[in-house]
Copies of this chain bind each other. A is one copy, B any other.
C-alpha cells in the first residue's frame, strides 16, 4: 500500500463523520495485546481524542505478555485501560456445561474457545452502556477484524464479529501493519505473531495458511500461491460464508 497516509486520514475522517452524524461520544475497545486492536485503538484516539477511548483488557487464562502489550498500547496512545477478568466466569460456565456431561470434552476445545469471545463481546457492550450512562453520551464498540480474517471466516459468530463500526474490514494484514507503523504502534506489538490468546496456537498455525497468502488470493485473480494453499483458502472462504448470511425463508406469495 503506497498511500498509507491517505488511507489513515480517510479512516480518521470516516470515524469522525460517523460520530458526528449519529451524535456519538466514545469508543469501548477490547485490547488483546495484538496488532489489530492496537491499530483500531490508535485510529480512534486520533479521531476522537484519547479521552473518548476506553480500552478493556479481558483476560481469560491469558498470558502476562499479552497484558504487558495491552498496557504498552494504552500508555502509548494515552487512553484509559480497564481490566475485567473473565477467568472465573469462564471457568464456572465450562464447569456447569461439563456437569451436563452429555459428551466427552476432548471434542469440545473449539466450543470452549468460542465462549471467550462471546463473553468479551457481552462485556464490551456492558461497558459501552455503563460509560454512556456515566458520561452522558453514546459509546459504541468498534470491531477489530481485518479483511484476511473476514475472508476466511476466522472469527467467532456472535463474538468478535459483533461490533458497531469497522475500520479494518477492507484492509489486509500487511496494510494493517503499514498503518500501525505509520501511526506509531509499538514495534513489539507490530511484530508479535498474531494468535487468538485462547488456543495456544498462532492464527496461521490454526488456519494452516499464511495471512500473506490469503492477501494474495484476495488481491489477485491469479494468485502466486501453491495450488494446495489456494484450494485450502477457497475452502475456508466458501465454508464460512454462512457466518455472513443467515439462510432465511421468504414468502413467495
Q: Which residues 59-95 of A have a CB within 8 angstroms of B?
A: 82, 84, 88-89, 92-93
Q: How many copies does the complex hold?
A: 2
Instruction: Kindly list chain B residues whose C-beta atoms are within 8 Å of the C-beta of A122.
Output: 93, 114-115, 118-119, 122, 158
Instruction: Kindly list chain B residues whose C-beta atoms are within 8 Å of the C-beta of A20.
Output: none
Instruction: Across the interface, name the chain B residue whose C-beta is closest to A22.
Output: B242
Task: Tell yes or no: A131 within 8 A of B by CB.
Answer: yes
- Closest CB-CB distance, A130 to chain B, in whole Å? 5
Instruction: Kindly list chain B residues whose C-beta atoms are within 8 Å of the C-beta of A14.
Output: 249
A114 touches B125 (CB 8 A): yes
Instruction: Kindly list chain B residues whose C-beta atoms are within 8 Å of the C-beta of A114.
Output: 122, 125-126, 129
Instruction: Across the interface, name the chain B residue whose C-beta is closest to A94.
Output: B126
Residue from B102, B108, B134, B252 in contact with A10 in the complex, judged by beta carbons closer than 8 Å: B252
In the complex, A131 Cα to B158 Cα: how many Å?
A: 19
Task: Tell yes or no: A7 within 8 A of B by CB.
Answer: yes
Instruction: Kindly list chain B residues whose C-beta atoms are within 8 Å of the C-beta of A163.
Output: 246
Task: Tell yes or no: A220 within 8 A of B by CB.
Answer: no
Task: Tell yes or no: A229 within 8 A of B by CB.
Answer: no
B89 touches A111 (CB 8 A): no
Instruction: Across the interface, name the chain B residue whose C-beta is closest to A110.
Output: B129
A169 touches B248 (CB 8 A): yes
Residue from B84, B103, B125, B166 in contact with A157 in the complex, judged by beta carbons closer than 8 Å: B125
Q: Which residues of A contact B (CB under 8 A)?
A: 3, 7, 10-11, 14, 18, 22, 82, 84, 88-89, 92-93, 96-97, 100, 102-104, 107-108, 110-111, 114-115, 118-119, 121-123, 125-126, 129-131, 133-134, 143, 157-158, 162-171, 242, 246-253
- List 6 A-B residue pairs with CB atoms under 8 Å apart, sorted by A's residue number: A18-B247, A84-B97, A89-B93, A157-B162, A166-B249, A170-B249
